[in-house]
Amino acid sequence: MPAVLGVRVAGAVRRAADTVGTLDLLVVTERPAQVAEELPRSPAVVRVLERRDDVVRVLAASGSPADLWLAAPGAAGGTLLAATGSPAHLAALRVRAGAGSGGLPAGRTEGEVYAALGLPLIPPELREGAEAIAAAAAGALPRLVDVADLRRDLHEHSDWSRDGRDGLERIAAAAAARGLAYVAVTDHAEDLAINGMSRDAVRARRAALAEVQARHPQVRLLDAAELNIGLDGGLDYDPEFLLAFDLCVASVHSHMDRPVAVQTDRILAAIASPAVTVIGHPTGRILGHRPGYAIELEAIAQAAAATGTALEVNGSPRRLDLSAEMVRIALGAGATLALSSDAHAVGELDYLHNAVATARRGWATPRDVLNTRAATLVGRRA
């Protein structure tokens, strides 16, 4: 629309919440009445549901409701802050401002609003309550991990396991285009009968990796696997065969209805294996489909810290596992994180952004993340 000067994503999406109901967008315009009038004619809008003050709620063509917050440039910062939330964070800011239930200071940018309250800019991912405000006031906000900090992706599937859709050549080119120094090709191992690699397939893929690697020296392709953690904690293949991989992610793919002690013990057994670098999607949850199985996360994180095993924050939008709350528990126990895409097609390499956002919600810094570390050799217990 010609009257729109800019649009920013806000609300729960900007805070990187696990799931989102209403979409929130900041719409910067000098002519809010004109924008509101034109909205019903947009192909992205089914109909206008409600108009209140400078917020227009519409039903988007995607089927989701969306709140469009209309603001002039001079008030865009305050409106973006309000549109981003959360309600608890905004309430705590109002208490600090002495505004009660009234408004917050105006500003062209969010930084101006926070500065008027004597605070540095608080990252959106930390705006779920008052804790970040207290940290900001004390000068104790951490420098959160960012996508630019990542050097590698440690969980990526190729068409060598049948749920992967792209070949090694495309994966290498896509990883290089994204500036990754390393990508671990973690096709499923043999105990996942529907699409796991036999030992002969592993050897054949190893030769194919070497050929592709020669054509793409700018990105290192790690000969890796996603192992299956058995009910007794056992892993695919034998120890000697496992140690030939550059890196192994170990994940639970079966028997997800077992008691917390059983699930915890099987993961602890996998952590004890010298072949395992990362525990993949540690609770097995699929958002909107199944909850994660119960585990004693603190015990698992302590064991992971003791052995140098990383716990994954899986960036698939179906997983986001570990969750942000679990990230904080894991970091409190001294564990290291691996932020991974779990990509099954090259476009899904961008799921790294979701892993980073979830880790940021859990207050993770670059030092907490395995993928940020420079290394001449990346592999077991890297």
> DSSP label at 56?
E
CA gap 190, 7 in Å, rounded: 48
CA gap 317, 299 in Å, rounded: 26
Asked if 201 and 194 touch (Cβ cutoff 8 Å), the reply is: no
Closest listed residue to residue 266, CA positions, set 291, 287, 294: 294
Asked if 221 and 259 touch (Cβ cutoff 8 Å), the reply is: no
Closest listed residue to residue 357, CA positions, set 101, 33, 9, 6: 9
Specify the pLDDT at position 222.
95
Q: Which domains does the chain have, with CATH numbers?
A: 4-137 (3.30.460.10), 147-372 (3.20.20.140)
> Could you read off the pLDDT tens digit of each residue along the chain, which spans 382 residues?
999 999 999 999 999 999 999 999 999 999 999 999 998 889 999 999 999 889 999 999 989 999 999 999 999 999 999 999 999 999 999 999 987 667 888 899 999 999 999 999 999 999 999 999 999 999 999 999 999 999 899 999 999 988 899 999 999 999 999 999 999 999 999 998 788 999 999 999 999 999 999 999 999 999 999 999 999 999 999 999 999 999 999 999 999 999 999 999 999 999 999 999 999 999 999 999 999 999 999 999 999 999 999 999 999 999 999 999 999 999 999 999 999 999 999 999 999 999 999 999 999 999 999 999 865 444 555 4
Is the link from the previous residue into 341 a cis peptide, with omega within 30 of 0? Answer: no
pTM for the full predicted model: 0.94
DSSP 119-133: -PPPPGGG-SSSHHH
The C-alpha angle with vertex 164 and arms to 160 and 168, in degrees rounded to 5, equals: 55
> DSSP label at 189?
B
Angle between helices 297-307 and 324-332 (to 10 degrees): 50
Sheet containing 247-251: which strands, arranged edge to edge?
Answer: 152-156, 182-188, 220-228, 247-251, 278-279, 310-314, 336-340
Asked if 23 and 13 touch (Cβ cutoff 8 Å), the reply is: yes
> DSSP label at 341?
-
Which residue is it, tokens 């209140």?
Answer: 52
Is the CA virtual torsion 289, 185, 346, 373 positive or negative? positive
CA distances 143 to 2, 180, 243, 365, Å, are 38, 22, 36, 6
